Structure 1
Amino acid sequence: MTRQINGDDLREQVAGELLRSRARSTALTDAVDEHDLVRQHSKLMSPLVWDLAHIGNQEELWLVRDVGGREPVRSDIDEYYDAFKFSRSVRPELPLLNPKEARQYVGDVRGKVFDVLEKVPLQGRRLVENGFAFGMIVQHEQQHDETMLATHQLRTGEPVLHAPLPPGGNLVPATETFIPGGPFEMGTSDEPWALDNERPAHAVHVDSFFIDTTPVTNGEYAEFILAGGYDDRRLWTDDGWEHRTNAKLVAPRFWQREEHSFVRTAFGVTEPIVPDEPVVHVCFHEAQAYATWAKKRLPTEAEWEKAARFDTAAGRTRRYPWGDEEPAEQHANLNQRHLRPAPVGAYPAGASPAGVHQLIGDVWEWTSSDFGPYPGFEVFPYREYSEVFFGPDYKVLRGGSFGTDKSAIRATFRNWDYPIRRQIFAGFRCARDA
């Protein structure tokens, strides 16, 4: 189904998404003082002030200069905010804009963007058709907002972010769901703001399999630890065991063991783990070892997407697990409404046709698949978004987390990261052959 909005309605939608993403960026950066904004809380992350100015710089490059054809606002800073020119570890050493300058800069850019949005035709050029370039920038800002949220998780000190608890869980009658074999349509060719690695739609055959009805929980993962899972070499691949040994892994990141129980620190608050919440902050290797211990495996990317999208009764592929409508509060734990995953079974309205729960939101889910192009892949609009990451170094994650915005997630959306990464809001569910 092609989803197109034209004319003034499209401009109004774009303006609303731009405002919504900027409100989140502002909240994440206003929550801390200037010292915390310029400080590097982890070598894995940029200072928060770098992320803020980088958001403005990408917006300037694509919407002000390219789409709008306007004069540069600050071409003198381009190289410092090029994510490929300087790694995160060295960014604090660059002559970055200070917090006041960064806020002024992103404000100046945004003013010009709204002028461009009002005047530029949203047709006749692929980059602007259906507002694509604006949608790309909205998603870019929201992705960096999730990165900034991860930086907040890594900072030390008193809590500065607050949110209500997610809804309570509900009993999910089955622990796993059968997905029948056969072809389905994977990816998309008609989602207006889908990024290049999601395209094009193509038929994929998947053999019958079982998939966990919910993500693996804290309680289940604690059983793996207490059963000696981190010490059993047989459960780990060669790469996984090497990393587990070198990094001295003994539990998910931010967990501490107390006798036979565990506590977890999240955004400055330390408390006992909630047994029925999905486990978060585990790397691919940990997920894979758990799956082996459970006598299962991680799902492939195609299996995950079929479980999330294919409606066997109707014989068609959906946009989201629950249907084609945009995510709402009853469907999924998204938009940073809560600062933690919701207990399993909390979103029955978001289940897939096969009865698989919480595929969208809560935790990014590791799959067993390397990140690569779909058949017929075409770079658009730049190589550095997807193509330069293709290969066996990166594993695909699916579904989004509690820190993902609804504008930056779809059942076709593909995330990727190194298999050792644990600061991201990642968990997993298991699968097995039928």
Structure 2
Amino acid sequence: MTDSATPTGSAPEGADPEALRQRALAALLTARERTALLTDSVDDQELTAQHSPLMSPLVWDLAHIGNQEELWLLRAVAGREAMRPEIDGLYDAFEHPRATRPSLPLLAPAEARTYAAEVRGRALDVLDGAALDGGGPLVRSGFAFGMIAQHEQQHDETMLITHQLRSGTAVLSASAPPAATDAGGLAAEVLVPGGPFTMGTSTEPWALDNERPAHVRDVPGFFIDTTPVTCGAYQAFIEDGGYTERRWWEPGGWEMVREHELTAPLFWHRDADRWLRRRFGVTEEVPANEPVLHVSWYEADAYARWAGRRLPTEAEWEKAARHDPASGRSRRYPWGDEDPSPELANLGQRHLRPAPAGAYPQGQSPCGARQLMGDVWEWTSSDFLPHPGFSPFPYREYSEVFFGPDHKVLRGGSFAVDPVACRGTFRNWDLPVRRQIFSGFRTARDL
């Protein structure tokens, strides 16, 4: 078995440097366009406010994006002198917790925009002259440029979470996602046969360190939900006393439920005989056929226990998403190796909500599971641990410092994830109490 082949439309290691350059340029420009949308849609007061102690002020994210781009593209790649060395500490994510960032002497909105724009102009000059077909590992195949585009898109997702947490009128809008036209005929679960498959990657040029290297995992056969668990199914858990029955909960989860008096996913509230939710400043009835959103790992795990099932392991999730039994190889995405498109997955903040369960039939995996990419991040049962042969690159703080039992793995991306920061090997992780993220889940069972 081999790692995923290089997809059409992507830039493989050793590809034409001009193709790499254009791919990197497009990724950087797309990310900056989204950053501008998220920061220009609110006034300066809202940019500097902290809308939740869980999140940074939006203006911090804006300047942090510029600072990371300067650190890696201007200083590390181009060897240039620091533009604003005095602000490095202010925008070091490990030096200052999110809750304390509003008290820092941060750049004002206009200054942050100017700084980020100046960095970007110089970074594009660096990209224009970089020898992407050679040099060290930072430059080869445009890795540093792809890393920075992914970093900005990850912060764009973080800023979109902040938009969801802010109070006040809606400032963002988007079209509705496509319907699930044949969902009624779908089986509730699909079989993933047992056997070895290739997990991770050694050839994806912009894969981050925790996705590497490719290695073989032998996974026993199992069943997995065809689609993510829906709001309607989750309501059945609630109505059956899911939040009042200690037996379904891990001890830490039960403590969370009791301490915060939880009765439903975040942003839900009861109105007479119906459930309502707040979504980006709009209050609406909870759609029964949409994947449930804003649930913690503890809630996902409790639902799975209540349903007589379990959360899939990370290896099971990736095998369901990537393994092609016909060829014996692992695909780049569930549908194959071609880059995502609007017909294949709900990505890129295009719809501001998950699509109905069963949508995107063209994007299903070989086992028949749908919406494994996009819509909602999916909790797995696995702790965030390194792949065998892991090597930190280009800095320990991206992955290595988070390895261990404290963080659970999420896979697949959400509607808020850009394609550049989402692939079949991409790994996300968070604390099991987190609910503000765009997280859902699907369940599994043994044969």
Q: TM-score range by the shorter chain?
A: over 0.9
Q: Distance in 2 between matches of 1:177 and 1:12?
A: 39
Structure 2 residue 360 is the aligned partner of structure 1 residue 350: no
Structure 2 residue 381 is the aligned partner of structure 1 residue 365: no
1:70 deviation in Å?
1.2
Partner of 1:46 in structure 2?
A: 56
Partner of 1:391 in structure 2?
A: 404
Partner of 2:276 in structure 1?
A: 263
Partner of 2:156 in structure 1?
A: 145
- Pairs within 5 Å for 1:127-166: 127-166=138-177
Q: Distance in 1 between matches of 2:317 and 2:23?
A: 30
Moved more, 4-13 or 230-239: 4-13
Q: Distance in 1 between matches of 2:194 and 2:25?
A: 43
Q: Distance in 1 between matches of 2:125 and 2:82?
A: 14
Q: Distance in 1 between matches of 2:157 and 2:226?
A: 26
Partner of 2:303 in structure 1?
A: 290
Cα deviation digits, residues 370-395 of structure 1 (max 9, x gap): 00101000010000000000000000
- Pairs within 5 Å for 1:116-195: 116-122=126-132, 123-172=134-183, 173-195=186-208
Q: Distance in 1 between matches of 2:73 and 2:86?
A: 17
Partner of 2:435 in structure 1?
A: 422
Structure 2 residue 108 is the aligned partner of structure 1 residue 95: no
Cα deviation digits, residues 183-218 of structure 1 (max 9, x gap): 000000000000000000000011110000000001
- Pairs within 5 Å for 1:306-317: 306-317=319-330
Partner of 1:239 in structure 2?
A: 252
- Pairs within 5 Å for 1:177-256: 177-256=190-269
Contact between 2:153 and 2:421, CA under 8 Å: does it hold in 1?
yes
Contact between 2:17 and 2:141, CA under 8 Å: does it hold in 1?
no
Q: Distance in 2 between matches of 1:80 and 1:105?
A: 14
Q: Distance in 2 between matches of 1:37 and 1:425?
A: 21
Q: Secondary structure at the match of 2:96?
A: coil
Q: 2:314 aligns with which of 297, 301, 306?
A: 301
Partner of 2:340 in structure 1?
A: 327
Partner of 1:411 in structure 2?
A: 424
Partner of 2:125 in structure 1?
A: 115
Contact between 1:170 and 1:344, CA under 8 Å: does it hold in 2?
no
1:312 deviation in Å?
1.1
1:283 deviation in Å?
0.2
Contact between 1:226 and 1:260, CA under 8 Å: does it hold in 2?
no
1:155 deviation in Å?
0.2
Structure 2 residue 390 is the aligned partner of structure 1 residue 377: yes
Contact between 2:187 and 2:226, CA under 8 Å: does it hold in 1?
yes
Moved more, 216-225 or 165-174: 165-174
1:293 deviation in Å?
0.7
1:73 deviation in Å?
1.3
1:291 deviation in Å?
0.3
1:178 deviation in Å?
0.6
Q: Distance in 1 between matches of 2:358 and 2:382?
A: 26
Runs in 1 of length 4+ with deviation above 4 angstroms? none
1:120 deviation in Å?
2.2
Structure 1: which amino acid aligns with 2:120? R
1:171 deviation in Å?
2.9
Contact between 1:300 and 1:368, CA under 8 Å: does it hold in 2?
yes
Cα deviation digits, residues 392-411 of structure 1 (max 9, x gap): 00000000000000000001
TM-score when normalising by structure 2: 0.96
Structure 1: which amino acid aligns with 2:240? A
Structure 1: which amino acid aligns with 2:160? L
Cα deviation digits, residues 230-252 of structure 1 (max 9, x gap): 10111111121111111211100
Contact between 1:174 and 1:213, CA under 8 Å: does it hold in 2?
yes
Contact between 1:369 and 1:395, CA under 8 Å: does it hold in 2?
yes
1:259 deviation in Å?
3.0
Q: Secondary structure at the match of 1:384?
A: helix
Partner of 1:77 in structure 2?
A: 87
Aligned length: 434
1:260 deviation in Å?
3.2
Cα deviation digits, residues 393-434 of structure 1 (max 9, x gap): 000000000000000000100000000000000000000001
Q: Distance in 2 between matches of 1:57 and 1:202?
A: 35
1:13 deviation in Å?
1.5
Please list every run of 5 or more consecutive structure 2 residues that lacks an aligned counterpart in the other structure: 7-11
Q: Distance in 2 between matches of 1:325 and 1:9?
A: 16
Cα deviation digits, residues 273-324 of structure 1 (max 9, x gap): 1111000000000000100111000000000000000011221111100000
Structure 2 residue 275 is the aligned partner of structure 1 residue 275: no
Moved more, 118-127 or 106-115: 118-127
> Percent same amino acid among aligned pairs?
63
Q: Secondary structure at the match of 2:380?
A: strand
Structure 1: which amino acid aligns with 2:119? V
Cα deviation digits, residues 167-189 of structure 1 (max 9, x gap): 11133320000111110000000
Q: Distance in 2 between matches of 1:338 and 1:375?
A: 37
Partner of 2:9 in structure 1?
A: none
